[in-house]
Amino acid sequence: MNIRNSAKAIIIQDKQLLAIKKLDKDGYYFILPGGGQEHGETLHQALKRECIEEINAAVEIGNLLFIREYIGKNHEHFEFDSELHQIEYMFSCEIKSSNKEIGNGVVPDDGQISVERLTISDLMNYRLYPQAIRDKIIAYISRKEFPVYLGDIN
């Protein structure tokens, strides 16, 4: 079994986090824009491509903020992703000023409903995955110290 690399964007504008809205049996939930790295592609190239595909936005990529592993068999959704082992690299990003309107891109994520802005002060109330990232994003915004490697979290 291969380990999959994924690049994710943490885009914060006006004290709001840009996120992809999806729906499952438990209701609405949110994920960060981004996705899998293709062979021959750098993480930055993957993230730029994914942001255009999913949120219709060209991005400027900043610093690597977090590295998260997800080993499916260890988490609540093990029944359908027990074979998945993914490493996510989460970068701070900014929307380029020349962008069209932010919204679903030309190749939205499977099950993607829309692109939403989540208020940072209410972030702990959203079903944002990985859920363990919410307080890390708040720490980043507050300029508090935070670990880069987060381990196998959801």
The architecture in CATH of the region 4-152 reads Alpha-Beta Complex (3.90)
The string of pLDDT tens digits covering residues 125-139 is: 999 999 999 999 999
How many beta carbons lie within 10 A of that of residue 122, not counting itself? 9
The residues spanned by each domain of the chain are: 4-152
E-only strand ranges, 3-148: 4-13, 16-24, 27-31, 34-36, 59-71, 85-95, 114-119, 128-129
For 3-61, write each residue's pLDDT tens digit. Answer: 999 999 999 999 999 999 999 989 999 999 999 999 999 999 999 999 999 999 999 99
Integer Cα distance of 51 and 34 in angstroms: 6
The token duo for 86 is 């993914």
Contact between 92 and 62 (Cβ < 8 Å): yes
